[in-house]
Structure 1
Amino acid sequence: MPYSTPSQKLNLSAGAASVSVAAVLVGLKLWALWATGALSIAASLADSALDLLISAAGLIAIVYAARPADEDHSFGHTSVEDLVSLGQAIFVAASGAAILWTGVERLIATTPPVLADEGAGIAVMALSALLTAALVLWQRRVAARTGNKVVAADMLHYVGDLLPTLGAMLALWLSARFGWTRADSVIAIIAAAIMLRGASKIFVASWHALMDRAAPDSIVKSIAEIAEIWPGVRGFHDLKTRTAGAKLFVQLHIELDGEQSLEAAHAIAKSLKRAILDAHPQADVIIHMDVWHG
């Protein structure tokens, strides 16, 4: 089943907010980089620039994933969320690797980097941190309510962006207060490592979804517990699950008394399906009815 209208509106609001904030952050950090020449700000700028590209792609994916199933896509379009999340992970990893390389080069260079206008840079990064924190709070709320993977992945990017932003502020302060310009390279390296770690997590989760890995054990157990005690169900087998984006696909064979009417058997299967949907609203449930051989 597609996202409900309220959920879709929440997802779209999160996507639009992400694109808007990313565009503002890129502008602010471009100016801060020009004013200070700090690599830690370059790390934060690179992250924000990628966030802008990724957020734009994510917004498109949210719109596309909400389209209902059609003749060519019988199971809907929600797998696009996993494809976009996979692309997000690759972009972030590439950015993190580039920043890590540059940070190490600067750190081992015989001449320390020269930073300037640290106060203005700190002010810009503080504003960036506030905007990012506000966006993360909204995305967290939306992801919790809708289960949208694109919004959740985007939120992780911005959580990761907060740390480089705060790190850049620290590096600029250390440079202005003590002349420790190499702290800029150290913090950039730490920020890059955080980016690489976050990218690996997003990549693995998206890859598993695209490879039709089963839903988490807690979800499978929940469905099994519902079927096990459902009135009229004598047994069940071949419980299969997979996920695509925020959508959960469930197939289940239930064993019913063969002496009851077909209408009664369908009523049991229908009520069980409704119970599973009540527990997992974003599920697509197919129930097969077999004759019980007790």
Structure 2
Amino acid sequence: MSIDPARALVLNRSAGAASVGVAITLVAAKIWALEATGSLAIAASLADSALDLMVSLGGLVAILYAAKPADADHAFGHSSAEDLAALGQALFILASAALIAWVAVQRLIAGDSPLPEQEGKGIAVSALAIALTFALVAWQRHVARLTGNRVVAADSLHYVGDLVPNLGAILALGLSARLGWGGIDSWIALGAAAFLAFGAVRIFGGAWHALMDRGADARMIEGIEGIVRDWPGVRGHHDLKTRVAGSRVFVNLHIELDGDQPLRVAHDIGAGLRRAILDAYPQADVLIHKDVAESRPPTGDPE
């Protein structure tokens, strides 16, 4: 679905701002709930919401910064800032998960895990978190569907995963109150810490690979090759290279054309092919070099 770039930017900004607003609300609510209940599961959920706030702020800044056009110092744009922010966020998540796990293990070893207090308040806050998260995800997915923005789509996926710590907090508080076993809180906190650590490793790996100029995934490369093979006037192609930077994928491609046709015709073939690739992959930045089919340079020729 095509959409005016100015409207797309407004929608993406609104999704980023909504994400920040929800994160601030939940951090404040969970600080209050933690003071009231002393629950480690609430602490794990609070750490996750604090992470959400950092991720949301980083996402909003990335949306604004990545929208800046290329300049003399950044010929390929500014999208790699997203990956740098993700590395810092991943380290923060790992530290939070390690702290929560350490406290939970110490309580289990000591065998004196206290029962959470005023569990009703903690359950109410977790229920609020679930309701706000569902509403935010619905809006983010709507925006991502309209604009194709990968930052918004990724943030939406992240918030879907955040439902787990909130559901875990409700489960811990409810079982602790019914069964009178404070250890449930510590075990669920350990599970939440493992969930946070798993997500952090995944975020770190994705950002690291992007900063190391890793290529696009195989499905995207196959899709581009399929478009090129079927494009009228293109007799062949070679040296298809891709690299990922933030939410952008840079594509370099050589196509082979009839050397006897007018330059304008060759230009139109290349321009149409570029447009087709962008329609299929809006996050791409495509550069096409045209070669004469009868005198194709060897693969790897820097021409």
Alignment partner, residue 298 of structure 2? none
The one-letter code sitting in structure 2 at the alignment partner of 1:288 is H
Superposed, 1:231-246 pairs within 5 Å as 231-246=232-247
Q: Which moved more, 1:20-29 or 1:151-160?
A: 151-160
Q: Who is 2:94 aligned against?
A: 93
Q: Which runs of 4+ in 1 moved over 4 A?
A: none
Q: Which runs of 5+ in 1 are unaligned?
A: none
CA contact (8 A) 1:129 1:165 kept: yes
> What is the deviation of 1:38?
0.8
Distance 2:227 2:135 in 1: 39
Equivalent runs, 1:163-202 vs 2, <5 Å = 163-202=164-203
**Structure 2 stretches of 5 or more lacking a match?**
296-303
Corresponding residue number in structure 2 for 1:260 = 261
The CA deviation at 1:283 is 2.0
Amino acid of the residue matched to residue 230 of structure 2?
I
SS in structure 1 opposite 2:260? coil
Deviation at 1:103, TM superposition (A): 1.2
**1:253: Cα distance to partner?**
0.8
* Contact 1:148 1:245 (8 Å CA) reproduced: no
Partner of 1:28: 29
Q: Output aligned runs, 1:1-294, within 5 Å.
A: 4-293=5-294
Deviation at 1:86, TM superposition (A): 2.4
Letter of the aligned partner of 1:243 in structure 2?
V
Q: What is aligned with 2:300?
A: none
- Give the TM-score taking structure 2 as reference length: 0.90
* Partner SS, residue 112 of structure 1: coil
Contact residue 150 and residue 283 of structure 2 kept, 8 A: no
Residue 81 (structure 1) shift: 1.8
TM-score (norm 1): 0.92
Q: Quick check: 128-137 or 189-198, which moved more?
A: 128-137
Q: Quote the offset at 1:144 in angstroms.
A: 4.4
Task: Name the % identity.
Answer: 62
What is the root-mean-square deviation of aligned Cα atoms in Å?
A: 1.9
Report the more deviating stretch, 47-56 or 93-102. Answer: 47-56
- Change over 3 Å in CA distance of 1:215–1:228 after alignment to 2: same
